[in-house]
Amino acid sequence: MMPTVLMQGNEAVVEGAIAAGLKFYAGYPITPSTEIAELCAEKLPFVGGKFIQMEDEIASMAAVIGASLTGLKAMTATSGPGFSLKQENIGFAAMAEIPCVIVDVQRMGPSTGMPTSPAQGDVMQSRWGTHGDHPIIVLSPSSVKEAYYITIQAFNLSEKYRTPVILLMDEVIGHLREAVNLDEYKDVEIFERPMPQDKENYLPYQYIENGVAPLAPFGKGFRFHVTGLAHNEKGLPTNDPKVTEKLIKRLIGKIENNKKDIVMFEEKDTEGGDILLISFGSSARACEAAMQELKKEGIKVGLFKPITIWPFPDEKLREIYPRFKKVFVVEMNTGQLYYEVDRIIKGNTYVGKINKFNGEFLTPFDIVEKIKESF
Amino acid sequence: MSSIEIRLSGSGGQGLILAGIILAEAAILDGKNSVQSQSYGPEARGGSSKAEIIISDEYITYPKVLKPDILLTLAPSAYLWYKNDMKENGIIIIDESIIPNDEDAQKVIRLPIIKTAQEVIGRAFVANIISLGVIAELTNVVTKESLERAVLNRVPPATEEINKRALREGYNLVKMRGSEIWQKQMI
């Protein structure tokens, strides 16, 4: 039995990453993600891993991609300004299908914004920060314990689907210390990258419907080409529209058509009622407290919490929302996940916004007040 | 006790964030649930700092303190900022160096925490541990046994004796004031 300990969210990310098999971290420290770099520097040497502080965020992302190509599970962590800088290489990882985990501990933006203040303003950037139609998986935990488990899943999904996975943290969860017992996760399955067999006929980008070919580690005798240009099954650049269309379809399809395997969510009191709250990350905690208050006043409130933000668990939401009179999307930005929810509900039910974007953590009072106003 | 919210505030460098971590860990040793969070200005020392702890028998939904049951403050600015956020019947503990407003003078518990650290123990840096001793003696948020274990888990081995003494001095500060303080103690 592991003892219950007080653990910080950023620390849980590092513990989860190491449990998932992290062997390489490259980064450039930035508040409020710095503890992740510090702890990786401290802990990785003891598990045969490497930590390197690069000259900037762009180089960090490039180093992570390079390490992953040699067969190592690799991660970097940053916050908004650094996340912006990493976008070009995140696109490269998406196009060249190189597994990696990018942690974005969100702070108040835009630009350098308020370094120590919480926000959830990177929801759309995490989906569309890099250019072109690209696949991505974005996961957002709302407690320290969940940060540990979701980090393991970030690595698993990244390896399984050969895609960058964004772990979308926020300052509140990153810096929060909570009593956690990780005992229940000691048997969590860890996905290991499969090794291709045939060296002579190796196709790193072989067409597999809704799937990926195994990625060979550099230096093991497999000859192949890696590029951000559109490429054929061997990885060589191409201008052939047919080959390109097939590639993009597969890239998008490997995520879209495996949603059932990828999406994670939680629901609370969703049997039906007056109000359905939709929230994620630390804001979901404010929702839980608000629900207790509203219940006392006889208002029936449910909570739908996507843990996988992208791809959004749309099927589940379509099942739940008709049981409620109104829907509110609660987030610390001016309304970003709101657009995805609004797209899914298509005007069939009223969808309202509850937002905070002044650098303060959303409170249960903010939510209770807005909901009472709506009656 | 279902859920107790505690705020420790002062100047950066007074060790109140460490005190907050220790208090949360003591609660875990008592078999309770706890969360700890903090905020500080960009400057590491001299600016204001705040540590918040919630101790509960149940799952803690909202992880930040909204209305403290206990406020302990070692700096005048922090006292002025936070004194009006209190829960009704909440306990305010301030260092003797802080002069409370007239209307608060009867409500607050004013103790020579910093002076005890400097003059009795001879180490200003144990004001945070004395503060924890004060809280433990004044309320039952954590047991003294767990608090002592939690302190010893966190401090450098060479300072164990000093920190144990600091805890005892904290208990004594409250005991010496006896009945006067116990009347105010609501938790």
Q: Give per-residue pLDDT as tens, A147-186.
A: 999 999 999 999 999 999 999 999 999 999 999 999 999 9
- Contact across the interface for B28 and A365, Cβ inside 8 Å: no
For residue A40, how many other CB atoms are within 10 A of its CB? 27
Best residue in B23, B28, B62, B154 to probe A by mutation, most A CBs within 10 Å?
B62
Q: How far is B105 from chain A (nearest CA, A)?
A: 30
The closest alpha carbon to A73, from A141, A135, A25, A139, belongs to: A25
Q: Is the dihedral of CA A157, A159, A162, A164 positive or negative?
A: positive
CA distances from B108 to A212, B49, B58, B175 (A): 66, 20, 29, 16
Are A265 and A320 in contact, with CB atoms under 8 Å apart?
A: no
Q: Residue B43's pLDDT band (boundaries 50, 70, 90)?
A: very low
Q: Summarize the confidence of residues A125-150 as an average pLDDT.
A: 98
CA distance A71 to A310: 26
pLDDT score for B68: 95
Give tens-digit pLDDT for A193-233: 999 999 999 999 999 988 999 999 999 999 999 999 999 99
Tell me which H or E stretch contains A170.
strand A164-170
Are A140 and A169 in contact, with CB atoms under 8 Å apart?
A: yes
Q: Which of B21, B27, B62 sits opposite A289 (nearest CB)?
A: B62
Residues of B with Cβ-Cβ distance to A6 under 8 angstroms: 21, 24-25, 28, 34, 36
- Give A136's strand partners: none
pLDDT score for A2: 86
Are B129 and B161 in contact, with CB atoms under 8 Å apart?
A: no
Give tens-digit pLDDT for B75-97: 988 888 888 889 988 999 999 99
Q: Which of B28, B38, B39 sits opposite A6 (nearest CB)?
A: B28
pLDDT score for B48: 78
pTM (predicted TM-score):
0.96
Give tens-digit pLDDT for A319-334: 999 999 999 999 999 9
